[in-house]
Structure 1
Amino acid sequence: MTLQLRPGPSAGPADAARARYLHQVLREELSKVRAAAAAWRNGLAGLLAALVGFGLVKGRTEIGKVAPPWDIVIGVLLLLALLAGAAGGLCLLRAANGPPRLTPADAAGSPLTQDHLRVVGALTDLRRGIAGALLCGAFLVVAVATTWYGPAKEPLRLRVQLPGAALCGRSEGIAHGILVLDTGAGKVKVDMTRVVTLQPVEECP
């Protein structure tokens, strides 16, 4: 079987316009990908600022109110959010500015081909950066939600040493020198003038 090759139809104005459009798209795609990466980078910076603000400014106060082991869970979630944000930020920086490497002087291919290869790498980094930003936001939301709606930490108990006896329970307040102590078996009124020692404890024996 013999195949015969014949010349195709001559290029017309539509073919020339399509070629010009494709050439323009190839020239502009690198700048568009890097602009998108810069926008995502700015959004991720806001998430990281919220993460740092919650973790350092309010973290110790808010997390300290949550019962164990949920406080450890919140700490792990914040750490995962930080790691995801850092990895996503590095990918977005590389997508927006290009990898820190030199282009060989004898690089083969046209400038458009080289730019397209850069676009492929930048788009891969952009997708990874977006995934990191979304993971960072998800971990941060779960950590904040756990802090707000997790089980509250039990308040400290008071161990009151009296002459010849010891009481332990949750304080209900002091009025007129009388401490009201909820021992679990009932409320006991303690005259503060008879107290030898007063010690806060995590739980009663």
Structure 2
Amino acid sequence: MTVRLAAGGPADDAVGVSARQRHNTLRTELPRVRAAALAWRNGVTGLLAALVGFSVIRGRAEIDKVATPWDLVAGLLLLGALIVGAAGALWALRACHGPTGLTPVDSTTSSVTQDHVIAEAALLDLRRGIAGTLLCGAFLVGAIAVTWYAPARSDPSLRLQIPGAVVCGTDAGMDHGTLTLKTDAGPVLVNLDQALTIQAVETCP
């Protein structure tokens, strides 16, 4: 098979303008990707800050009010939000400012080509950062939903045996040796001097 090479036709002004535009586009590609990454980072960071600021999660005290195993679910969701949020933030920062290291210089390719490769890597980091921060927001919403809608942890109950009766309920306070128990029938006052046995139970029969 014989391949013949021949000179092309003369280049007109339109070809020159197109080549210059393509060259300028490649030269400005990396700054444009960096600027887009910075805008996305600021926007997503503001969204997450607003979400956390208006959330009802205030730490361990809120999670402790959720019944088992939903407290564990809320904790795992918060841990997942922390991990993917930190990863997303690192990806977004790398997309904005580049990797924390020297960029290897390839003398066999032009600077425009090298910038294009860096721009592609920055764009990939930007997409990962967006996905990570949005997933972080989803985990936070899930944790908030658990604290809102999961069953609350019930207080431990006390079962007291007094002469002629057995009283069971939750502790509502004590005053001068008299214990107030909250029962299904209403509050009941029990003199502890008359109590024969006191037993802590999870639920009343």
The bucket for the TM-score relative to the shorter chain is 0.7 to 0.9
Structure 2 gap segments, 5+ residues each: none
Q: Shift of the alpha carbon at 1:123? A: 1.3
Structure 1 gap segments, 5+ residues each: none
Matched residue, 2:7: 7
Matched residue, 2:143: 143
Matched residue, 2:154: 154
The residue identity in structure 2 corresponding to 1:190 is L
SS in 1 for 2:59: helix
Matched residue, 2:108: 108
The residue identity in structure 2 corresponding to 1:134 is L
What pairs up with 1:63-102 in 2 under 5 angstroms?
Answer: 63-102=63-102
- Give distance in 1, aligned partners of 2:200 and 2:40: 49
Q: Shift of the alpha carbon at 1:134? A: 1.6
SS in 1 for 2:45: helix
Q: TM-score, normalised by structure 2?
A: 0.78
Q: Shift of the alpha carbon at 1:68? A: 1.0
Q: Shift of the alpha carbon at 1:92? A: 1.1
Matched residue, 1:190: 189
- Give distance in 1, aligned partners of 2:14 and 2:120: 28
8 Å contact 2:171–2:179 — kept in the other structure? no
Quick one: percent identity of the two aligned structures? 49
8 Å contact 1:163–1:195 — kept in the other structure? yes
SS in 1 for 2:189: strand
Q: Residues 2 and 113 of structure 1: is their aligned pair in 2 closer, same or farther, counting only changes over 3 Å? A: closer
Matched residue, 1:181: 182
- Give distance in 1, aligned partners of 2:2 and 2:199: 98
- Aligned residues between the structures: 201
Q: Shift of the alpha carbon at 1:120? A: 1.5
Cα RMSD between the aligned structures? 3.6
Q: Which moved more, 1:45-54 or 1:140-149?
A: 45-54
Q: Residues 190 and 98 of structure 1: is their aligned pair in 2 closer, same or farther, counting only changes over 3 Å? A: same
Q: Residues 44 and 196 of structure 1: is their aligned pair in 2 closer, same or farther, counting only changes over 3 Å? A: farther
- Give distance in 2, aligned partners of 1:107 and 1:60: 56
Q: TM-score, normalised by structure 1?
A: 0.78
Q: Residues 191 and 104 of structure 1: is their aligned pair in 2 closer, same or farther, counting only changes over 3 Å? A: closer
Matched residue, 1:18: 18
- Give distance in 1, aligned partners of 2:54 and 2:78: 11
Deviations 1:49-73 (A, max 9, x none): 8559869x71223222221110110
Q: Residues 143 and 62 of structure 1: is their aligned pair in 2 closer, same or farther, counting only changes over 3 Å? A: same
Q: Residues 67 and 34 of structure 1: is their aligned pair in 2 closer, same or farther, counting only changes over 3 Å? A: same
The residue identity in structure 2 corresponding to 1:181 is K
Matched residue, 2:121: 121
SS in 2 for 1:58: coil
- Give distance in 2, aligned partners of 1:173 and 1:40: 54
Q: Residues 3 and 107 of structure 1: is their aligned pair in 2 closer, same or farther, counting only changes over 3 Å? A: closer
8 Å contact 1:156–1:200 — kept in the other structure? no
Deviations 1:4-37 (A, max 9, x none): 4333332222212211211121111111111122
Matched residue, 2:61: 61
Q: Shift of the alpha carbon at 1:166? A: 5.7
What pairs up with 1:13-52 in 2 under 5 angstroms?
Answer: 13-46=13-46, 47=48, 50-51=51-52
SS in 1 for 2:151: coil
